[in-house]
Amino acid sequence: MSKKLNPLDLFDINALLGEEEQMVQQSVGRWVDERVLPVIGEAFDNHEFPMDLIPEMADLGLFGSSIQGYDCAGLSYTSYGLICQELERGDSGLRSFASVQSSLCMFPIYAFGSEEQKQKWLPPMSRGEVIGCFGLTEPHAGSDPASMKTHAKKDGDDWIINGSKMWITNGSIADLAIVWAQTDEGIQGFLIEKGMKGFDTELIKRKMSLRASVTSALFFDNVRVPDANRLPNVKGLKGPLSCLSNARYGISWGPIGSAQACLQEVIDYTEERVLFGRSLNENQIIQQKLADMSRRITTAQLLALRLSQLKESDDLHPTQISMAKWNNVRMAIDIARECRDMLGGAGITTEHVAIRHMLNLESVITYEGTETIHQLVVGRELTGKNAF
């Protein structure tokens, strides 16, 4: 008799993972079940990030998990992907927090910072004692970061920074902002510390997506930053774009968790829901929809795993990240919407997870490269012609 398959892992991707990777997924998944799921719905409703979870995430080694040394866990990139998947199974806002802390803040310090900067910032960031944010996007410079208006001018041994950034995750709670600005020598990165004169943040309210996440605007009015706070080992767009590639890799894994959460909920619901004298899941159309969700999740899992193999072997191309981010977020948002519909009237409340994931994914499909931009990146690779 054939064994019963895991409805959330129909092709047994778990068997392809290493022992350490399986342990990481199990430990993070157990923590999400025990600590995140009981509180995240209310956090979403109240437009609050669950700050008390940050030390627990740090204790699990989730910040800068793939960095070697500096009190970081030194895990594989596959483990980092699985961390993102399990966190987003809880909520995209939680995964966004970890993604920004790890890929957009700790990574550039590790990759482009001085040894003094690494020693000063990475250990406390790994412990969750210092929270970071990443300042690249501006009100009129989202998909076209080269047109940013924020600029830094040299003044003796300091830099004077003026400008603003928009849609910045963690902005209002961050102790350290990695800010990219135009200079006479091209775009450069600066470490701007909370409390520096002229540096202010403003919380963005009235969001209907990523409500359990802090999103802010950053303002720089003649902020004086010492040259010791400039990232010395990178100039130009290579710096911020490499950070985004690292983060997009994690985003390619994360929405699998959202989709799994929605599928599990609707599997349970259609078993328990009785309509016209029989359980809802006895209907062909329901089984067809469930099967299609499983197919799409499985495809996304295989795509993410192959992506991690390419990253582990240092053969990963940005176009491959674009395809994975495009496919996997589109997969998740379509499944969340379908699950919301299958829950009927119950699907419009946050007592069920589908609408929360659906709304969150409206942001995930937009940030760090819109779906259209990623489609055009793939199109450019296929034709050799830039359409944007």
Q: Which residues pair with 164 in a beta bridge?
A: 219
Q: So what's the pLDDT on residue 233?
A: 95
pTM of the model: 0.96
pLDDT by 10-residue block (mean), the chain, 388 residues: 87 96 98 98 96 98 97 97 98 97 97 98 98 95 89 97 97 98 96 98 97 98 98 94 94 98 97 91 96 98 98 96 98 98 94 97 95 96 94
Q: Do 58 and 97 contact (CB within 8 A), yes or no? A: no
Q: In angstroms, what CA-CA distances link 281 with 9, 72, 341, 343?
A: 19, 46, 14, 12
383, two tokens: 């034709």
Q: In angstroms, what CA-CA distances link 284 with 4, 257, 323, 335?
A: 21, 26, 32, 18
Rounded Cα distance, 376 and 387, in Å: 7
pLDDT tens profile 329-354: 999 999 999 999 999 999 999 999 99
Q: What is the 3-state secondary structure (H, E, C) of 77-107?
A: HHHHHHHHHHHHHHCHHHHHHHHHHHHHHHH
Rounded Cα distance, 88 and 251, in Å: 9
324, two tokens: 């994975």
Q: So what's the pLDDT on residue 332?
A: 98
**Is the torsion defined by CA of 254, 252, 104, 219 positive or negative?**
negative
Q: So what's the pLDDT on residue 1?
A: 56
Domains and CATH numbers, the chain: 13-126 (1.10.540.10), 132-229 (2.40.110.10), 238-383 (1.20.140.10)
> What contacts 362, CB < 8 A, 6 or more positions away?
208, 209, 333
Among 118, 227, 137, 242, residue whose Cα is nearest residue 180: 137
Among 215, 195, 187, residue whose Cα is nearest residue 93: 215
Q: Which residues pair with 226 in a beta bridge?
A: 158
> Buried b / exposed e across 231-258, counting CB within 10 Å, b at 16+?
beebeebebbebbbbbbbbbbbbbbbbb
SS3 of the chain: helix, strand, coil, percent, to 5: 55, 15, 30
Q: So what's the pLDDT on residue 307?
A: 97
Rounded Cα distance, 383 and 380, in Å: 5
Q: Do 359 and 365 contact (CB within 8 A), yes or no? A: no
Q: How many helices (H) and strands (E) does the chain have?
A: 12, 9
- Please confirm, yes or no, whether 116 is among the known catalytic residues: no
DSSP string, 12-48: -GGGGS-HHHHHHHHHHHHHIIIIIHHHHHHHHHTT-
Count of residues making up the chain: 388
Q: So what's the pLDDT on residue 3?
A: 83
Residue 307 has a CB neighbour count (10 Å cut-off) of 24
- 21, 265, 338, 368: which one is catalytic? 368
Max Cα–Cα distance, the chain, nearest Å: 80
Q: Which residue has the tokens 């500096």?
A: 70
